[in-house]
Chain A
Amino acid sequence: MAKLEATKSIENGSHQRKNTVKDFVFKYLLLSLALLGAMMIVFIFIFILSKSWSVLRASGLGFITDGGFSKQISTSYNLSPAEQTFKFGALGLLTATILSTVGALILAIPVGIASAIIICEFSHRAFGTFLQSVIRLLACIPSIIYGLIGLMVVVPFIKETFIFPQLQIQYLSDPVLRMQLSGKSLLAGIIVLAIMIMPTITALSADAIRAVPKNYKEAGLAMGLSHWRVVSRIIIPAARSGIFAGIILAAGRGTGEAIALSMVAGGISNVPQLSHGGVFFLTPVLTLASAIVNKSEAMSVPAIQSALFSCGVILLLTSVIFSLSTKLVEHTVRSSK
């Protein structure tokens, strides 16, 4: 087919002049669409920043150093436009985002890397393929379903196992942080998030392990090392940058997760207190991303809308930093080769 068209166009001279116009239009159409696509990230930043400006300007640095977000939202909802302060403090949100992501990583990294090791090195073909399909399935389950199961299984489990009535009564009037312990908590968020980000770590670690040249493994075995030792002392260290890239990617996904956490993490912008001991993990929390979901109904109030957009600005910045870091890791790997 290509032959016929090509020959025809050579024979037909005038066809060639029309072709140049078509070629020009084609190329610049593609260019403009590509340019538009590349500029989207800039547009996103500009629009979100503009909508958040009123709160960011009023709160300044206090947006990330002061707390009290939930309370500020509820008071703001009831104030008239004239009384709005536009001052918000999202410290609780920031701490919750960091704690939930780090907690999820602590659970997901060992399980993820271990699964990758088994898939690549210690399983027969059938089991390895099966395990990979399981990981892929986990990766494509929508976050709403994780949220639903978290809500119907994990939260009641936490409530039954860890929260006794005396505990609840105690914390209803705690002097430091008055709160209602219902099972929706930092712990629930960590568990759900860990399951959600683990497939990313497994997939990228498996890729990294497979990319290690086979002759390192041969050298190790020929030296009399056991298979496990070859994996732990030669293959994994050789794969460490790919594994690290996977972890950064997973961390990025963790910070941005909104729906599942909005359902299981509690929805109140508390800053968990270490002085509470174990109840640290049972504190209901609100992350930057889940705040936007939880408070979205109050967005008709301009101050609240601006506050939520400010959360968006922080999320955007962190996701950009994560993406750039992953690229940096990949770049250093490639240049060192």
Chain B
Amino acid sequence: MMNEAVISIKDVSSWYGDKQILKNINMEIKKNSITSFIGPSACGKTTLLRSLNRMNDLIPSFKLTGTVKIDGTDIYKDIKKPEDLMRHRMNVGMVFQSPNPLPMSIYRNMALPMEESFPKERKKEIPKLIEKYLSDAHLYDEVKDRLHSSGHSLSGGQQQRLCIARVLTISPEIILFDEPCSALDPISTMRIEDLLNELKQDYTIVIVTHNLQQASRISDNVAFFYHGELVEYGESNQVFLNPKSELTQNYITGKF
């Protein structure tokens, strides 16, 4: 596919204090694709994912060298002011491993990000947009009669779809998923995988997952990480059926 690259990662290394987590990562992620980060625990895939929307800033000892460019902007060197960082995070949304709806009604969960980011003129669009995004996330039909009940009253799978709908309200270009189905049952997982396939038409998706079948089912490109290094990165079919590295082969066949 001849999509342009929207995320460009060059010579990126990162540390928590003295401990090095990522070692010299180089890769490009293309627009409107689904890219999976796979690898054993503590290989750095989640750290790299969180670096893309600068959520690692919350950890005081975090340090990153190299260049992370999104749409041509170096998000570590070129973004200095808080308002620029906020805008960046609205451009790169995130869905977390444990569904985290806010302790409010479904309606307010959806309305809050829009109220915070819309100018006055747009605020009247909010109710319609709530319906639209909940539909896009395949949740509207299930909750349309109880929009004012608490977000926590939904099942795990529904909560995660609410979180996805919520991230759509900020109109991101890129959506990051941090093991979004690890806390869910197989049926909910399947529904979310279908949803991801639909979403990739309008968004660029990067997903960290432990589930190799999931990675092979939904991704266009796969990146395999091991001990902080990017071992192999390529088209999904190629990596899974014909891996270039023996390490990749061993991981995929379950040797570790």
Check if A224 sits within 8 Å of B58, measured CB to CB: no
B89: chain A residues at CB < 8 Å are 221-224
Given the interface pairs A218-B55, A229-B116, the reply to whether A224 lies near B170 with Cβ below 8 Å is: yes
A224 to B82, CA, bound (A): 10
A223 to B116, CA, bound (A): 10
Choose from A216, A221, A227 the contact partner of B103 (Cβ within 8 Å). A216
Interface: B167 (CB within 8 A): yes
The minimal Cβ–Cβ distance linking A5 to chain B, given in whole angstroms, is 47
Chain B residues numbered 226-255 whose CB sits less than 8 Å from any CB in chain A:
none
Interface: B197 (CB within 8 A): no
Given the interface pairs A222-B93, A223-B113, A223-B170, the reply to whether A216 lies near B87 with Cβ below 8 Å is: no
Q: Number of contacts between A and B (CB, 8 Å)?
A: 62
The minimal Cβ–Cβ distance linking A122 to chain B, given in whole angstroms, is 13
B86: chain A residues at CB < 8 Å are 224-226
Interface: B112 (CB within 8 A): yes
- The 0/1 profile, CB within 8 Å of B marked 1, for residues 204-227 of chain A is 000000000101101111111111
Check if B96 sits within 8 Å of A233, measured CB to CB: no
Residue of A nearest to B163 (CB): A219
Check if B96 sits within 8 Å of A219, measured CB to CB: yes
A227: chain B residues at CB < 8 Å are 82
Interface: A131 (CB within 8 A): no
A225: chain B residues at CB < 8 Å are 86, 113, 116
A225 to B103, CA, bound (A): 16
Given the interface pairs A229-B116, A233-B116, the reply to whether A223 lies near B100 with Cβ below 8 Å is: no
Interface: A163 (CB within 8 A): no
B42: chain A residues at CB < 8 Å are none
The minimal Cβ–Cβ distance linking B108 to chain A, given in whole angstroms, is 10
The minimal Cβ–Cβ distance linking B80 to chain A, given in whole angstroms, is 15
B112: chain A residues at CB < 8 Å are 223, 233-234
A135: chain B residues at CB < 8 Å are none
Residue of B nearest to A233 (CB): B112
Interface size on B, residues (CB 8 A): 27
Interface: B219 (CB within 8 A): no
Chain B residues numbered 70-104 whose CB sits less than 8 Å from any CB in chain A:
82-83, 86-90, 93-94, 96, 98, 100-104
B116: chain A residues at CB < 8 Å are 223-225, 229, 233
Interface: B117 (CB within 8 A): yes
Chain B residues numbered 118-175 whose CB sits less than 8 Å from any CB in chain A:
163, 166-167, 170
Interface: A48 (CB within 8 A): no
Check if A223 sits within 8 Å of B96, measured CB to CB: no
Check if B55 sits within 8 Å of A224, measured CB to CB: no
Chain B residues numbered 36-94 whose CB sits less than 8 Å from any CB in chain A:
53, 55, 58, 82-83, 86-90, 93-94
Chain A interface size range: 10 to 19
Interface: A158 (CB within 8 A): no
B102: chain A residues at CB < 8 Å are 216, 219-220, 234, 238
Residue of A nearest to B109 (CB): A219
Check if A226 sits within 8 Å of B82, measured CB to CB: yes
Choose from B58, B163, B166, B170 the contact partner of A221 (Cβ within 8 Å). B58
A220: chain B residues at CB < 8 Å are 102
Check if A223 sits within 8 Å of B167, measured CB to CB: yes
A220 to B102, CA, bound (A): 9
Which of B90, B93, B102 has the most CB atoms of chain A within a 10 A radius of its CB?
Answer: B102
Choose from B83, B98, B167 the contact partner of A215 (Cβ within 8 Å). B98
The minimal Cβ–Cβ distance linking A323 to chain B, given in whole angstroms, is 27
Residue of B nearest to A215 (CB): B100
Residue of A nearest to B87 (CB): A224
Which of A219, A221, A227, A237 has the most CB atoms of chain B within a 10 A radius of its CB?
Answer: A219
Residue of B nearest to A229 (CB): B116
Check if B166 sits within 8 Å of A218, measured CB to CB: no
The minimal Cβ–Cβ distance linking A66 to chain B, given in whole angstroms, is 48
Contact sample, A vs B, 20 pairs, CB 8 Å cutoff: A215-B96, A216-B103, A218-B58, A219-B100, A219-B102, A219-B166, A220-B102, A222-B55, A222-B89, A223-B93, A223-B112, A223-B113, A223-B116, A224-B113, A224-B116, A225-B86, A225-B116, A226-B82, A229-B116, A237-B103
A222-B167, A237-B103, A237-B104 known; 19 new pairs, CB 8 Å cut-off, are A215-B96, A219-B96, A219-B166, A220-B102, A221-B89, A222-B55, A222-B94, A222-B96, A223-B90, A223-B112, A223-B166, A223-B170, A224-B86, A224-B88, A224-B117, A225-B86, A226-B86, A227-B82, A234-B102
A interface vs B, CB < 8 Å? 213, 215-216, 218-227, 229, 233-234, 237-238
